[in-house]
């Protein structure tokens, strides 16, 4: 019995020490759920971590919250997709050195039968109008993320204020919202990256509207301003920015595939 | 049914394969919970004993407050601690938001009322003669209280187990203060919440099974100790 107690004591002490003792440099990055849920960060970050001998702590939230974390100085670097908000973030002095990283596009996904008939729509706004007219279920991110911001822009250009029991505000990340839309056989606006990662096994929803200019979805990375927050790890943040926008990082992004299809595209230099 | 059976099989396979991410999440959960319960015990047991053995005006109010705090929603604790340790908050300089330390602070706050309350109940149920007897036998006040704690060790242990149960099972504090960072602050509960959202039920279920197993092991161990 005594031996068992001692053994357990040793094991618990060991486990307890494991979490607290970590001497490595840690870089905090807030990002959108799409970069994490699509699986990109799992292949993009490890080579950088090896090279710079550090750990990147990823806090995956909506773009709105990701930028807020930067404005509070709680992270060192932000990696998001809402160009207007990003420019404001830099203009307000919270961020420096914004760089384009990659892009993909938004798609409207929904049940294969397409009850609202949006496949025939000419523009994304028209597609949303059809959904609203039919009162087909639509799941909104409802979390001030980049995707949510884009969705609100589209409703605005459609001249509709979505309201009613058919319009569900989930308040969750892209992945959970696709899961929810699948369960309820509803429409939703998704970024192509996350949708591709979910397609097949995790969702039977299909892309019903795509390919409009207004659905362009660019991603940018921004260092939190060290003049405003002297505590941020600016050098390490700049190293990460150089890595993801440099040759090696860009190649990883271009080569990354989910279910055999590319998820993000890089800008031709 | 087929879906559940298949999920269950995959979950078991994941557990047996000792998937790296699962192991890290389990270790983080246990470690953070152990630290929290250590601090909560250091604060909660003396508080419970103190309230239990002394008489003072407003004692009933204090007990009522302690009882209320037991039902403290985890997200409220998360919110309050977040406000304090964010860079904008009073303790922002420490820079501990989204680290295991932040989770330990939040979970300690959660566990203290539980440990204190359970301790208080055992103290109230104890033989009232223990302290006077110890004092008569020549023990100092501190020694007498220690003697009381010794007599009540099983009750105090129950207090610690109850606190541990609460912190290892909670998700609000871990998610808000830890940030669910892979390989760092991702715990079993935050991973379950995330994996379910991502449609990875097998991984979520595997973690759920492990979480139950850990709780079972802890209770078995303490049960054995009690029978000695």
- Distance of residue A258 Cα from the nearest chain B Cα, in angstroms: 15
By a Cβ cutoff of 8 Å, what residues of chain B touch chain A? 27-28, 30-32, 34-35, 86-88, 92-93, 95, 97-98, 100-101, 179-185, 196-199, 221, 224-225, 228
Nearest CB among B86, B100, B225 relative to A19 is that of B100
**Length of chain A in terms of residues written:** 269
> CATH class for domain A24-104+218-262?
alpha beta
**pLDDT reported for residue A18:** 66
Q: How many residues does chain B have?
A: 228
DSSP structural state of residue A19: H
Same fold yes or no, A24-104+218-262 and A105-215? yes
- What pLDDT was estimated at residue A19? 64
For residues B215 and B218, give the distance between their C-alpha atoms in angstroms, rounded to a whole number.
Answer: 5
Token look-up 């705090």 returns: B69
Per-residue pLDDT band for A87 (boundaries 50, 70, 90) equals very high
Give pTM, 2 decimals.
Answer: 0.83
For B24-50, the pLDDT digits (tens) are 898 999 999 999 999 999 999 999 999
Domain parsing of chain A, residue ranges? 24-104+218-262, 105-215
**A105-215: CATH architecture:** 3-Layer(aba) Sandwich (3.40)
Which pLDDT score is estimated for A98?
96
The predicted model gives B155-178 an average pLDDT of: 92
| Band (B1; pLDDT cuts 50, 70, 90) | low
Residues of B in contact with A18 (CB under 8 A): 27, 31
Which of A15, A57, A178 has the CB atom closest to B98's CB atom? A57
Nearest residue in A to B28, CA atom: A19
Report the b/e string of B206-218 with b at 16+ CB within 10 A.
bbbebbeebeeeb
Sign of CA dihedral B78, B83, B85, B87: positive
**Closest Cα of chain A to B182: distance in Å?**
7
To the nearest whole Å, the CA of B118 is away from the closest chain A CA by 24
- Residues in chain A closer than 8 A to B224 (CB atoms): 1
The answer to whether the CB atoms of A37 and B198 lie below 8 A apart is yes
Distance (Å) from the alpha carbon of B159 to chain A's nearest alpha carbon: 19
Q: In chain B, what are the domain boundaries? A: 2-227
Q: How confident is the model at residue A22 (pLDDT cuts 50, 70, 90)?
A: low
Quick one: which of A267, A232, A265, A243 has its CA closest to A95? A232
CATH number of B2-227, picked from 1.10.1200.10, 3.30.450.20, 1.10.3720.10, 3.40.50.150:
1.10.3720.10
């Amino acid at each position: 019995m005594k031996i068992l107690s001692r053994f357990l004591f040793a094991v618990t002490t060991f486990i307890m020490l494991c979490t607290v003792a970590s001497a490595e440099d840690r870089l905090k990055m807030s990002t959108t759920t799409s970069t994490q849920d699509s699986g990109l960060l799992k292949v993009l970050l490890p080579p950088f971590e090896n090279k710079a001998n550090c750990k990147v702590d990823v806090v995956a939230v909506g773009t709105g919250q990701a930028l807020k974390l930067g404005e509070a100085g709680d992270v060192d670097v932000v990696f998001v997709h809402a160009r207007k908000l990003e420019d404001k973030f830099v203009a307000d002095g919270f961020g420096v050195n914004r760089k384009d990283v990659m892009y993909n596009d938004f798609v409207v996904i929904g049940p294969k039968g397409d009850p609202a008939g949006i496949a025939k729509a000419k523009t994304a706004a028209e597609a949303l109008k059809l959904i609203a007219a039919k009162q087909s279920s639509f799941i909104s991110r409802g979390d001030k993320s980049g995707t949510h911001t884009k969705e609100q822009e589209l409703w605005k250009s459609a001249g509709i204020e979505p309201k009613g029991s058919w319009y569900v505000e989930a308040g969750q990340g892209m992945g959970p919202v696709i899961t929810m839309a699948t369960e309820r056989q509803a429409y939703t606006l998704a970024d192509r990256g996350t949708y591709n990662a979910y397609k097949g096994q995790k969702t039977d929803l299909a892309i019903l509207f795509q390919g409009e200019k207004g659905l362009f979805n660019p991603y940018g990375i921004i260092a939190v301003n060290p003049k405003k927050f002297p505590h941020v790890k600016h050098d390490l943040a700049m190293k990460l920015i150089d890595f993801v926008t440099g040759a090696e990082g860009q190649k990883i992004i271009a080569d990354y595939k989910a279910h055999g299809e590319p998820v993000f595209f890089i800008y031709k230099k | 049914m087929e879906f559940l059976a298949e999920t269950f099989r995959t979950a078991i396979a994941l557990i047996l394969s000792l998937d790296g991410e699962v192991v890290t999440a389990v270790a983080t959960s246990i470690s953070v919970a152990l630290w929290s319960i250590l601090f909560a015990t250091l604060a909660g047991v003396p508080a419970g004993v103190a309230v239990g053995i002394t008489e003072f005006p407003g004692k009933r109010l204090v007990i009522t407050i302690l009882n209320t705090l037991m039902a403290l929603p985890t997200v409220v604790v998360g919110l309050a601690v977040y406000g304090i340790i964010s860079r904008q908050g009073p303790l922002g300089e420490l820079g501990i938001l989204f680290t295991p330390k932040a989770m330990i602070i939040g979970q300690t706050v959660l566990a203290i009322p539980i440990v204190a309350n359970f301790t208080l109940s055992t103290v109230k149920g104890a033989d009232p003669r223990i302290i006077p007897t110890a004092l008569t036998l020549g023990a100092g006040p501190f020694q007498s209280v220690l003697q009381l704690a010794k007599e009540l060790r099983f009750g105090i242990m129950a207090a610690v187990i109850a606190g541990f149960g609460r912190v290892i099972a909670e998700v609000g504090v871990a998610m808000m203060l830890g940030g669910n960072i892979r390989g760092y602050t991702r715990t079993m509960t935050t991973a379950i919440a995330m994996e379910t959202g991502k449609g990875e039920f097998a991984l979520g279920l595997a973690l759920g099974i492990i979480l139950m197993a850990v709780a079972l092991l802890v209770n078995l161990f303490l049960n054995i100790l009690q029978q000695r």
